[in-house]
Amino acid sequence: MTREETPIVVADDLRKDYRGGVRALDGLTFSVSPGTIFALLGPNGAGKTTTVRILTTLTRPDQGRAAVAGIDVLAEPGRARSVIGAVGQHSGAVGLLTGRENLAMQGSLHGMRGKELRRRVTGLLGQFGLADAAERRARTYSGGMRRRLDIATVLVHRPAVLFLDEPTTGLDPEGRADLWAVLTELASTGTTILVTTHYLEEADQYAARVAIVDRGKIVAQGSPGELKAGIPAASGIAASLDDVYLHHAGRSFRQAEGVLVA
């Protein structure tokens, strides 16, 4: 990020405690440049999902600041939601509605009507490879199709930032590749994407920057190349992002017991 460039996502000293004294976030801080793909990596319970929930107005931190597109998400959650698209780990599509109806319903919730909405829905169905299945009920879609429908649905209102929590979990390799093709196209046209993932090769290949979260803190961040360059090579073999991940979060990754918060 250049000195002149204003980050589009800011998480500043976020702290969050849950019942029983479990600290999910412990001063977590990072920022994201506009029009890029940013990946949050970390073991289960590191704080990734809690971070996304705060940035998308679903959870309030106990301390710290969070902003999206220049909007304080704590002070103006309604306004923040107008510039955010968020997809969780489970499909949000209504199975009894068709693909087209799911998109149209989401658009209507954002005040879109008439020809504008119809054009937007038709365009997204084509962009996400769902045009031929537009009139089928979503419950008949394959896993990959439902995931594409989920993302298309939250893009109807043209959000500035798209948050994806483990978007390719459960998809076969072809489905993962198809989804990433769409995501990289979105980023190339200006949409900022923040993604959590356990697939390190995805972060390595597609993310401009990566942050590794462990026990509620950012323990390393940078481009995949920068992070890999910071890890000593073993036996002359260049370090991988797996090596980086295990170097910074290996203790938590190997932890067999304990209370963890997603």
For the chain, which residues make up each domain, given as ranges? 1-83+159-262, 93-158
Report whether pLDDT(73) > 80: yes
Would you say residue 258 has pLDDT above 60?
no
pLDDT for 198: 82
Specify the pLDDT at position 262.
46
Q: Which pLDDT score, from 0 to 100, does residue 91 have?
A: 75
DSSP class of residue 131 equals G
Sort strands 192-196 and 161-165 into parallel, antiparallel or unpaired: parallel
Alpha-carbon gap, residue 101 to 123, rounded angstroms:
14
Distance CA 36, CA 19 (A): 35
User: Beta 37-41 vs 209-214: how paired, if at all?
Assistant: parallel
User: What order do you get walking across the sheet with 9-18 strand by strand?
Assistant: 22-32, 9-18, 63-68, 71-72
Mean pLDDT of 99-123: 95
Q: Which CATH architecture has domain 1-83+159-262?
A: 3-Layer(aba) Sandwich (3.40)
Residue 237: per-residue pLDDT: 62
Q: Is the pLDDT of residue 253 over 60?
A: no
**CA–CA dist 228, 239 (Å, integer):** 5
What backbone torsions phi and psi does residue 12 show, to the nearest 5 degrees? -125, 110
What pTM was estimated for this model as a whole? 0.87
- Which pLDDT band, with edges at 50, 70 and 90, does 176 fall under? confident
Report which secondary-structure segment, H or E, holds 256.
none
Average pLDDT, the chain: 88
Mean local confidence (pLDDT), 72-83: 96
User: Rg of the Cα trace of the chain?
Assistant: 19
pLDDT of residue 242: 80
